[in-house]
């Protein structure tokens, strides 16, 4: 969910990301990993954007990845094979604080070969930079701020000033999703207007993706596991008693719960829903 939200932002506001990462607002368009030949590596977690001169390769990470240096070197060679004349900028953006050595790795090295790339740890970045650009607003709360709730309020003020409704709703929804990495849901709901977020493309796509994933998993046990993961992300740990009730729900009820939990803000919402939807 967090990776796909960041990808959406990079694709929708590529000039803002180019200004930040390349230093100039170069118009960029999406480059499919399939164009690079061979099987993509974790294609869901990267974004490749191309202009006439540049290719920007961005990886968004919530957790440290020991294989990241190899992945960056592998993609650099793939791009060179396909576009040998283009410059390439590769950046790994870590979203959440970590003391792991992996978030400081900036090179892949084996005997006779060395490849370097850039790493950005968002929690070290100056907040003002992100408040000054519409496409970067959703990332501001993850930056080097002493008061994340106050930063979220500053973001909300700037979102309210966006005149185009589609852009406003997409930025609001993306902000709400990414703020969930560091703030409690009730704080986010107090600051961001829910009705605006629900109008966004990213909100609707995530909702549909969630439902499709549940249907595709098919098996009852996997559906239960998916629901519990989503509930834990939104509400925190789910008690054994509530887990037991969820595990007794039918697949149709699990799908209904999957849609309903998008609006949950506290554990009592789950308790009330289960009372109103006893297992069949």
Q: List the one residue out of 274, 268, 267 whose CA is nearest residue 246.
A: 274
Confidence of residue 212 (pLDDT cuts 50, 70, 90): low
Bridge partners of residue 98, in order along the sequence: none
pLDDT at position 117 over 60 = yes
- As a residue count, the chain comes to 280
DSSP 210-249: HHHHHHHH-SHHHHHHHHHHHHHHHHSPPPHHHHHHHHTS
Confidence of residue 25 (pLDDT cuts 50, 70, 90): confident
Q: What is the pLDDT of residues 221-262, one digit of tens each?
A: 777 888 888 888 888 888 888 888 888 888 778 888 888 888
Q: List the one residue out of 190, 192, 162, 167 whose CA is nearest residue 177.
A: 192
Cβ(86)–Cβ(49) under 8 Å?
Answer: no
Lowest mean pLDDT among 31-35, 79-83, 155-159: 31-35
- Across the range 187-216, mean pLDDT stands at 65
Say how far apart CA 146 and CA 154 lie, in whole Å: 13
Lowest mean pLDDT among 32-46, 63-77, 169-183: 32-46
Q: Best-predicted range by mean pLDDT among 42-51, 54-63, 220-229?
A: 54-63
Identify the residue with better confidence: 127 or 255: 127
Cβ(153)–Cβ(134) under 8 Å?
Answer: no
Task: Say if strands 54-61 and 113-116 run parallel, antiparallel, or are unpaired.
Answer: unpaired
Global pTM value:
0.70
Sign of the dihedral through C-alpha 201, 3, 212, 230: negative
Q: CA of 154: how far to CAs of 162, 175, 233, in Å?
A: 13, 12, 24
pLDDT over 70 percentage in the chain: 84
Say how far apart CA 254 and CA 248 lie, in whole Å: 9
- Across the range 9-27, mean pLDDT stands at 90
Burial of 53 (0-12, 13-18, 19+ CB in 10 A): exposed
- Across the range 114-130, mean pLDDT stands at 97
Average per-residue pLDDT for the chain: 85
Lowest mean pLDDT among 28-32, 47-51, 97-101, 115-119: 28-32
Q: List the one residue out of 130, 72, 61 whose CA is nearest residue 100.
A: 61
Confidence of residue 207 (pLDDT cuts 50, 70, 90): low
DSSP, collapsed to helix, strand or coil, labels residue 181 as coil
pLDDT at position 44 over 50 = no
Say how far apart CA 33 and CA 36 lie, in whole Å: 6
Burial of 222 (0-12, 13-18, 19+ CB in 10 A): middle
Angle at 117 between CA 116 and CA 121, to 5 degrees: 135
């Amino acid at each position: 969910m967090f990776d796909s939200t960041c990808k959406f932002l990079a694709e929708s506001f590529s000039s803002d990301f180019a200004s930040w990462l390349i230093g100039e607002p170069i118009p960029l368009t999406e480059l499919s990993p399939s164009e690079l030949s061979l099987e993509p590596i974790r294609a869901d977690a990267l974004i490749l954007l191309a202009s006439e001169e540049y290719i920007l390769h961005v990886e968004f990470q919530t957790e440290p990845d020991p294989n990241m240096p190899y992945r960056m070197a592998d993609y650099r060679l793939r791009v060179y094979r396909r576009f040998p004349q283009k410059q390439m900028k590769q950046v790994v953006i870590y979203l959440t604080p970590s003391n792991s050595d992996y978030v400081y790795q900036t090179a892949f090295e084996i005997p006779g070969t060395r490849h370097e790339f850039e790493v950005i740890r968002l929690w070290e970045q100056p907040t003002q930079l992100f408040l000054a650009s519409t496409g970067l607003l959703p990332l501001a709360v993850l930056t080097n701020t002493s008061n994340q709730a106050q930063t979220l309020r500053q973001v909300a003020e700037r979102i309210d000033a966006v005149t185009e409704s589609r852009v406003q709703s997409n930025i609001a929804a993306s902000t709400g999703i990414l703020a969930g990495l560091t703030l409690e849901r009730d704080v986010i709901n107090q600051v961001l207007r829910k009705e605006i977020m629900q109008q966004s493309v990213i909100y609707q796509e995530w909702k549909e993706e969630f439902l499709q994933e549940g249907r595709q998993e098919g098996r009852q046990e996997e559906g239960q596991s998916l629901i519990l993961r989503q509930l834990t992300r939104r509400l925190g740990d789910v008690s054994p008693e509530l887990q037991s009730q969820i595990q007794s729900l039918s697949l149709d009820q699990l799908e209904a719960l999957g849609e309903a939990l998008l609006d949950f803000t506290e554990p009592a919402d789950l308790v009330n829903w289960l009372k109103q939807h006893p297992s069949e």
